[in-house]
Amino acid sequence: MVVIKYCNIDVIKDADISHYMNYLPSFMLKEVLRYKYDNDRKSRLLARLMLQESLTETSSTQSLKDWRRNANNKPFMVNWHAFNISHSSDVVVFAYTTGEAVGIDIEQKADVSYQDILNNFHPEEKQYINSSSDPKNCFYNLWVKKEALLKAIGIGVVNGLNDFTCINNSLSHQQRTWYLKELQIHPEYSCYLCLLDLEQDIMIREFKLSNFNLNNL
């Protein structure tokens, strides 16, 4: 099973940020406070609240204190399911799986000079984007697919973007087949999930801060 949660950062009022952050472990609070702007702090805070809610609903004995990062800076929880986080502009997404691995990425489809970024893509992808009837949308879909895949594999989004092509929704890496699935989270955003098993049930729901129990922190 894969559980996906999403929300808009406006679910937390600016005046309430400090209130919720006080419930984070000290090391996590310091990490969030490194960000200067309230919107950046909100997105990271909400991702951690989504994680805590997920720990509670899976009856895990783990807590946010068990948050760790691997050598590639990918977060993980000791003795819990694989999970992944992404945020862009005003939207945060969180995914965890009872399977082996998961990656998720979301990007707002803003007006950018994507041609300047195409050198990070595989030559086949460059041609695919440039020949598309909607190159901007095509660019974002491929970009998000690549990041979701790299996050699922666990090697980070700064490595290997032009080493493979994500034109199709499945590809092989280190003798394993990875699958990419588009998620309809918001019409102004592109979002993809990456996993090893497409037979898993996928549950998508909006994270409601009003339902969150601070006593679980």
Distant-in-sequence, close-in-space partners of 16: CB < 8 Å, separation ≥ 6 = none
List the CATH code of the domain at 2-206.
3.90.470.20
State the Cα angle at 49 between 24 and 200, rounded to 5°.
140
pLDDT digits 0-9 by tens, 5-55:
999 999 999 888 998 998 899 999 999 999 999 999 999 999 999 999 999
pLDDT digits 0-9 by tens, 149-208:
999 988 755 555 667 789 999 988 878 999 999 999 999 999 999 999 988 999 999 999
Q: What is the pLDDT of residue 71?
A: 85
Distance in angstroms (rounded) separating the CA atoms of residues 159 and 181: 21
Task: Specify whether the CB–CB gap between 9 and 46 falls below 8 A.
Answer: yes
pLDDT digits 0-9 by tens, 106-152:
999 988 788 888 888 888 999 999 999 999 999 999 999 999 999 99
Q: What's the pTM value of the predicted model, to 2 decimals? A: 0.93
